[in-house]
Chains A and B, each alone.
Chain A
Amino acid sequence: AQSVSQHNHHVILSEAASLELGCNYSYGGTVNLFWYVQYPGQHLQLLLKYFSGDPLVKGIKGFEAEFIKSKFSFNLRKPSVQWSDTAEYFCAVNPNQAGTALIFGKGTTLSVSS
């Protein structure tokens, strides 16, 4: 069965520090990849997605992620975090075939201190 691993359960950073959250998946075929974010008390919302093409994708609020097929990875990055980035971040994977659903990682809580 496919699975998604997020390496860090809780990351604590100061404002302006750089961020990288790891995500690895286990599935040998073509996949679609997503990062979702959940701010305190809010809905899950999409940060960015990768379907095909340029493996470096840019999302909202200055986030980007790089798909490295050989490493089965889709790490999320941001050069300089802000206090408002405090949230829980979920990586998700979906095989590119009909009748399948999104599988989420366990999430990484990011706490940014001002």
Chain B
Amino acid sequence: DVKVTQSSRYLVKRTGEKVFLECVQDMDHENMFWYRQDPGLGLRLIYFSYDVKMKEKGDIPEGYSVSREKKERFSLILESASTNQTSMYLCASSLNTPKGGAWKKLFFGSGTQLSVL
């Protein structure tokens, strides 16, 4: 089974801190994603990556950056955490199809509940 591992289940940080959320997948997936999940807002895409060192902005990239130095690892960085970044953060990965474009199903990690005080 595909495993997507997020380094922390719960994290508490202070306003202004730099925060790193780590995600590792073990199935050689090309695509990796960071979403945040908030009640009543569903999942919103922050950033995604379809190859090593490649990144694309999602719908809400402000206040975040990402790093993909190795295929299996996709890090989300909060440069200066703010209280409105308190949320559940979900990492996901997927394969590319041979013809490209059509995404196969996403495999999600268990999430990191981040609280910024």
Q: Is A53 an interface residue (CB 8 A)?
A: no
- CB contact under 8 A between A103 and B105, given known A90-B42, A90-B43, A98-B100: no
A32-B102, A32-B103, A94-B103 as given contacts; A101 in contact with B45, CB under 8 Å = yes
Q: How far is the CA of A3 from the CA of B115 in the complex (A)?
A: 28
> Across the A-B interface, how many residue pairs have beta carbons closer than 8 Å?
62
The answer to the question of A96 belonging to the interface, with a C-beta cut-off of 8 Å to chain B, is yes
* B-side interface residues, number (CB < 8 Å): 27
- Give the nearest-CB partner of B35 in chain A: A104
Q: Which of B16-24, B70-78, B106-114 is the contact stretch? A: B106-114
**11 A-B Cβ contacts within 8 A?**
A36-B106, A44-B108, A45-B108, A46-B105, A94-B103, A100-B101, A100-B103, A101-B48, A101-B56, A104-B44, A105-B42
The 4 closest A-B pairs by CB, nearest first: A106-B42, A104-B43, A46-B105, A98-B100
